[in-house]
Amino acid sequence: MVAHILFLLYQHHPIITIFLVLILASTSYGEDDNKDYRDCKKHFNCGVLSNLSYPFWGGDRPEVCGHKGFQLKCEEGQLPIIPSDKLEFRLSRLNQSSRLMTLQLVNSKDYICPTQNLANSSTESDIHVFGYDLNLQNLNLLYNCTVPNSTLVQNRISSSACRKYSGSSFYGSDDILESSSGLHQTQCSVRIKIPIPVETFRRLTGNRSELEQVLREEFNVSYKYDQGPSICDACMASKGICGTNLTDPNREFLCLCRDQPFPFVCKVCFVLFVWAIKLVG
Ligand SMILES: *[C@@H]1O[C@H](CO)[C@@H](O)[C@H](O)[C@H]1NC(C)=O
Ligand SMILES: *[C@@H]1O[C@H](CO)[C@@H](O)[C@H](O)[C@H]1NC(C)=O
Ligand SMILES: *[C@@H]1O[C@H](CO)[C@@H](O)[C@H](O)[C@H]1NC(C)=O
Ligand SMILES: *[C@@H]1O[C@H](CO)[C@@H](O)[C@H](O)[C@H]1NC(C)=O
Ligand SMILES: *[C@@H]1O[C@H](CO)[C@@H](O)[C@H](O)[C@H]1NC(C)=O
Ligand SMILES: *[C@@H]1O[C@H](CO)[C@@H](O)[C@H](O)[C@H]1NC(C)=O
Ligand SMILES: *[C@@H]1O[C@H](CO)[C@@H](O)[C@H](O)[C@H]1NC(C)=O
Ligand SMILES: *[C@@H]1O[C@H](CO)[C@@H](O)[C@H](O)[C@H]1NC(C)=O
């Protein structure tokens, strides 16, 4: 992109372009005097995975270098763990160039007929924790529900799967909690949300061993951490490092540059870029 614009510019204003290239080149030999920039520039290793970069953070890599939802728990010789509220996912494979990761729910058996405590702590799970992958959907597991026998017969978990509770058990996507389903979440004392692949839903029946199998399976997630064109790519093209604005309550994107951070791209490039586009146009 930058090269393309420089080329167009060169055809129209060769002298200006040569100066521009000289300025661009000279700005890239300064000191790295921004602490966040220095911290985030380093390679990041976590357990058995090495050379990790944005959006991952955790271990000795500060949050400013990453994106919310991509924190890793690192342990020597182990695969990294991604905590999402109280659910935990093991990151078993990662391809950073294609932005694909393979996850597996840790202790998946615990979520079939769980104890009250476990359920309370995992109800806030948001499928967007892993970015905007539309191939994920929430699986709601609802236990100990006080409802008439005729309610949602097709979404019942077989009663033999959970004898701990007197009420009945259900599974379903977020639709199951819409008023038209006849089931309100306050009717169930134990509730859990777990993100699973959309195509897995078709296989679900109320059978316990099948539920266990589905929760145990590895699944691939494409971690698109921004919608539409990648702001991170634009930041990197301006010689910046992608990061997060920690003073912002929404943890917005931040482009870390040698001297100081900018909202989207590093300033030197940004100013020259706008100027170049004006000259060409
Ligand atoms: C780490 O990844 C970057 C690209 O993300 C690559 O340029 C570099 O060669 C890698 N370093 C090692 C030691 O694998
Ligand atoms: C990662 O994905 C890219 C693009 O899809 C592919 O060319 C590459 O072989 C993959 N790397 C690994 C280690 O699987
Ligand atoms: C869990 O939630 C139930 C119902 O909402 C509540 O009665 C119970 O005290 C909670 N338990 C814990 C440990 O928070
Ligand atoms: C199941 O729900 C009933 C009715 O809401 C409640 O009285 C009971 O304490 C619950 N059982 C457990 C084990 O939480
Ligand atoms: C609902 O089902 C339970 C057990 O399956 C049975 O004991 C009970 O009588 C049924 N209630 C009604 C109203 O059909
Ligand atoms: C549950 O599914 C497994 C494997 O698909 C099957 O062997 C088993 O008989 C099923 N159990 C019930 C109660 O349907
Ligand atoms: C996930 O992706 C990997 C590598 O691209 C592939 O080998 C594997 O079969 C995929 N797994 C699933 C469950 O789709
Ligand atoms: C970070 O966020 C704060 C609060 O929204 C804002 O005032 C500040 O300008 C942002 N920093 C940058 C470099 O964009």
- pLDDT for the residue 126: 58
Query: Which has the higher per-residue pLDDT, 230 or 274?
Result: 230
User: Of all residues in the chain, what percent carry a pLDDT higher than 70?
Assistant: 77
43: CA distance to ligand 1 center in Å?
A: 8
156: CA distance to ligand 6 center in Å?
A: 15
pLDDT band at 36, cuts 50/70/90?
A: very high
pLDDT band at 19, cuts 50/70/90?
A: very low
Q: Is 250 in the pocket of ligand 8 (CB under 6 A)?
A: no
Q: Sign (positive/negative) of CA torsion 195, 198, 203, 205?
A: positive
Q: Which of 178, 175, 179, 171 is nearest to 154 (CA)?
A: 171
What count of other Cβ atoms lies within 10 Å of the Cβ of residue 198? 12
Q: Which of 56, 211, 192 is nearest to 125 (CA)?
A: 192
Rounded average pLDDT over 19-32? 50
pLDDT band at 18, cuts 50/70/90?
A: very low
| Low-confidence winner among 122-126, 181-185, 247-251 (lowest mean pLDDT) | 122-126
116: CA distance to ligand 3 center in Å?
A: 7
Q: Is 97 in the pocket of ligand 1 (CB under 6 A)?
A: no
pLDDT band at 21, cuts 50/70/90?
A: very low
For residues 137 and 200, what is the distance between their CA atoms, to the nearest angstrom? Answer: 9
Does 22 score more than 50 pLDDT? Answer: no
Pocket test for ligand 4, best of 162, 184, 189, 191 (most atoms within 8 A of CB): 189
For residues 124 and 247, what is the distance between their CA atoms, to the nearest angstrom? Answer: 24
Residue-wise pLDDT for 39-60, tens only, equals: 999 889 999 999 999 999 998 8
Pocket test for ligand 3, best of 116, 124, 145, 186 (most atoms within 8 A of CB): 116
In sequence order, which residues have a C-beta less than 8 Å from that of residue 64 and are 6 or more positions away?
36, 39, 40, 57, 243, 244, 246, 254, 256
Q: Is 187 in the pocket of ligand 4 (CB under 6 A)?
A: no
197: CA distance to ligand 2 center in Å?
A: 21
User: Of all residues in the chain, what percent carry a pLDDT higher than 90?
Assistant: 46
Query: Which has the higher per-residue pLDDT, 261 or 229?
Result: 261
pLDDT band at 230, cuts 50/70/90?
A: confident
- pLDDT for the residue 177: 84
Q: In what order do the strands lie in the sheet with 156-157?
A: 156-157, 168-172, 136-145, 188-197
- pLDDT for the residue 9: 54
| CA distances in angstroms from 14 to 5, 22, 24, 152, 268, listed in the order given | 12, 13, 15, 72, 20
Instruction: Tell me which ligand sits closest to the C-alpha of residue 49.
Output: 1
Query: Across-strand partners of 52?
Result: 44
| CA distances in angstroms from 27 to 10, 68, 238, 239, 269, listed in the order given | 20, 31, 11, 10, 10
What count of other Cβ atoms lies within 10 Å of the Cβ of residue 68? 14
Instruction: Tell me which ligand sits closest to the C-alpha of residue 206.
Output: 6
Q: Is 240 in the pocket of ligand 8 (CB under 6 A)?
A: no
